Amino acid sequence: MKAQSFVLITFVLHSIDLNIMFAYKYPVFPIRLEAYNMKRLASIFLAAVAAILLALATTSAGSVCDNAPCEKVINVLAGENFTIELKSNAGSTGFEWWNQFDTEYLSLVASSEQSGNAMSGEVGVPGKKLFVFSAKKPGSTDVIMLLLQPWKNSTVEERKIFPVNIS
């Protein structure tokens, strides 16, 4: 969609440039040429503005998922809770899940660790990290989960994006 918008804007702006150049180099209509060109120029300018606004509207309405793979969409009603469950091994590796979300639409109710089933003598058994969110109001938003070691320049090991639709 962004490429189509760019092509549309480029085409409209290019046609404005060509019309101006053509009108002044090759006057075709000797009767009131300036008035004709001004009306035509004004209509082309308005068309260009409309095309730019349309392009901005379609590209800003895009999702974070347009540029990155996303998890399955979470559909929830306003006022309800939902849980995001992720594999975790924070105890032995130091990697932690951090979250980013829009507080206008969501609130974090709780987060907890569930350790895995360790046999005797096993160390560093993977478990689960649970995040419970509450949907505040209708709309669409994203929960971005980042797996990182906070003390190591916060380099992101893994990123998961969960689109959330609230009804």
Q: CA 153 to CA 88: how far, in whole Å?
A: 20
Domain ranges of the chain: 2-62, 66-166
Model pLDDT, residue 60: 42
- Separation between Cα atoms, residue 151 and residue 86, nearest integer Å: 21
pTM for the full model? 0.58
Q: Which CATH class is domain 66-166?
A: mainly beta
Q: Rounded to whole angstroms, how far apart are CA atoms 160 and 145?
A: 5
The full DSSP string for 66-130 is GSS---PPEEE-TT-EEEEEEEE-HHHH--EEEEEE-TTTEEEEEEEEE---PPTT--S--EEEE
Lookup: tokens for 32 = 């009131």
CB 82 within 8 A of CB 74: yes
Task: Report d(CA 115, CA 105) in Å as an integer.
Answer: 30
HSE of 8, CA atoms in CB hemisphere, 13 A: 17
Q: Can you give the pLDDT of all 167 residues of the chain as single tens digits?
A: 444 444 444 444 444 444 444 445 555 544 454 555 666 666 665 555 555 554 544 444 455 666 667 899 999 999 999 999 999 887 677 788 999 999 999 999 999 988 776 665 566 677 899 999 999 999 999 999 999 888 777 788 899 999 999 99
pLDDT given for residue 7 in this prediction: 42
What's the confidence (pLDDT) of residue 93? 77
